[in-house]
Amino acid sequence: MTRRRWRITLLAALATLAAVFPITSLFSDASWLGEAVLVIALVAGLGLVARGLTRSRLLVVLVQVLVTAYVVLVRFTGDSFVLLVPTPSTLEAANSLGLQALDTVQRYSAPAPLNEGIAFCLTVAVGLVAICVDATAATWRSPAAAGLPLLTAYLITAANGYAALELRYFLVPVAFWLVMLHTTARAQFGRWGTASASEDSEIDEAAHDRDALRSFTAGALKLGAVGVVVAVLVPTVIPHFPPRYLTEGLGRTTGGGGEGTVGFNDTLDLSRSLNDQDQTPVLSYTTTAFTRSPLRVLATSYYSRGQWLVAGSGSGSGDPAPLPPPERRREYEITVSDNTLAAPRIAAPYPVVKVAMEGTPWSIDPVTRDVRVGRAVSDYRITYADVAPSPPELRESGAPDSPDITDDDLSIPDRSRELIDSWSEEVTRGEDNPLDKAIAIQDHLRGSDYTYSLDLGEPLRDSEGRLLEPIQNFYQTRRGYCVQFATAMIMLARAQGIPARMAIGFLPGDLDGERYVVRASDAHAWPELYFQGYGWLRFEPTPGVRAGTPPPYAVLGSDAGATGGGRSVDDSETGGTASASASTSATPTAVAVPQQPTLLDSVGSVFTVRHVVTALTVLVLLLAIFVMPITAWLLRVRRRRAAVSQRDLIEAEWVDLTSHLGDLGLQAPEGVTLRQLRDRYVGDGHLDEENASAMRRVTATLEKARYDRPERTSPQEAIRLHHDIRSIRRQVGRTRDWQTRVRSFLWPAAGVSFWRGLPGRLPRPGRRR
Q: What is the pLDDT of residues 223-248, one digit of tens each?
A: 666 666 666 565 555 554 444 433 44
Q: Is 228 a domain residue? A: yes
Of 358, 389, 420, which residue constitutes the final position of a domain?
389
* Segment 165-172 mean pLDDT: 75
Same domain, 75 and 170: yes
Same domain, 310 and 344: yes
Residue pLDDT, tens place only, 2-37? 545 678 899 999 999 998 988 888 887 888 888 899
- Which DSSP state fits 445? H
Which domain does 182 fall in, by range?
Answer: 3-196+207-247
Dihedral over alpha carbons 78, 82, 86, 89 (to 10 degrees): -80
Domain CATH for 685: 1.20.120
What is the C-alpha separation between 757 and 769, in angstroms, rounded?
Answer: 19
Q: What 3 state SS string does 522-549 have? A: HEEEEEEEEECCCEEEECCCCCCCCCCC
Question: What is the C-alpha radius of gyration for the chain, rounded to an integer number of angstroms?
Answer: 36
| pLDDT attached to residue 592 | 37
Same domain, 230 and 278: no
Same domain, 343 and 380: yes
Q: Is 605 a domain residue? A: no
Residue pLDDT, tens place only, 717-758? 888 898 899 889 888 888 888 788 888 888 888 888 888 887
Same domain, 297 and 230: no
Q: Is 717 left (phi over 0), alpha (psi -120 to 50) or beta?
A: alpha
Same domain, 272 and 162: no
Which of 18, 40, 19, 26 lies closest to 247 in space, CA to CA? 26
Q: Give the amino acid at 555.
A: V
| Other beta carbons within 10 Å of 395 | 16
**Contact yes or no for 525/483 (Cβ under 8 A):** yes
For the chain, what is the mean pLDDT? 78
Which of 114, 112, 116 lies closest to 94 in space, CA to CA? 116
Residue pLDDT, tens place only, 645-693? 888 888 899 999 999 898 888 888 888 888 888 988 898 888 999 999 9
What is the C-alpha separation between 412 and 491, in angstroms, rounded?
Answer: 6
Which of 532, 557, 537 lies closest to 397 in space, CA to CA? 532
| Other beta carbons within 10 Å of 358 | 8
Residue pLDDT, tens place only, 235-286? 555 554 444 433 444 444 444 433 344 445 555 544 444 555 667 888 999 9
What is the C-alpha separation between 590 and 29, in angstroms, rounded?
Answer: 21
Q: Is the pLDDT of residue 489 over 90?
A: yes
Which of 102, 105, 506 lies closest to 307 in space, CA to CA? 102
Q: Please, which pLDDT band fits residue 189 given cuts at 50, 70 and 90?
A: low
What is the C-alpha separation between 657 and 663, in angstroms, rounded?
Answer: 10
Q: Is the pLDDT of residue 407 over 70?
A: yes
Same domain, 227 and 283: no
Domain count, the chain: 3
Same domain, 230 and 298: no
What is the C-alpha separation between 291 and 583, in angstroms, rounded?
Answer: 7
- Partners of residue 525 on adjacent β-strands: 504
159 or 23: whose pLDDT is higher? 23
Of 359, 389, 419, which residue constitutes the final position of a domain?
389
What is the C-alpha separation between 253 and 233, in angstroms, rounded?
Answer: 26
Q: Is the pLDDT of residue 466 over 80?
A: no
Which of 262, 243, 291, 139 lies closest to 522 in space, CA to CA? 262
H-helix segments, 478-577: 482-495
| pLDDT attached to residue 600 | 47
* Segment 301-312 mean pLDDT: 77
Residue pLDDT, tens place only, 47-71? 988 887 787 888 899 999 999 999 9
Q: Is the pLDDT of residue 540 over 70?
A: yes
Q: Is 11 a domain residue? A: yes
Dihedral over alpha carbons 347, 349, 352, 358 (to 10 degrees): -40
Q: Is the pLDDT of residue 219 over 90?
A: no
Strands (E), 561-664: 567-568
Dihedral over alpha carbons 689, 694, 697, 703 (to 10 degrees): -110
Question: Edge-to-edge strand order for the sheet containing 302-304?
Answer: 267-269, 307-309, 302-304
**Contact yes or no for 518/297 (Cβ under 8 A):** no
**Contact yes or no for 314/370 (Cβ under 8 A):** yes
| pLDDT attached to residue 255 | 42
Same domain, 243 and 297: no
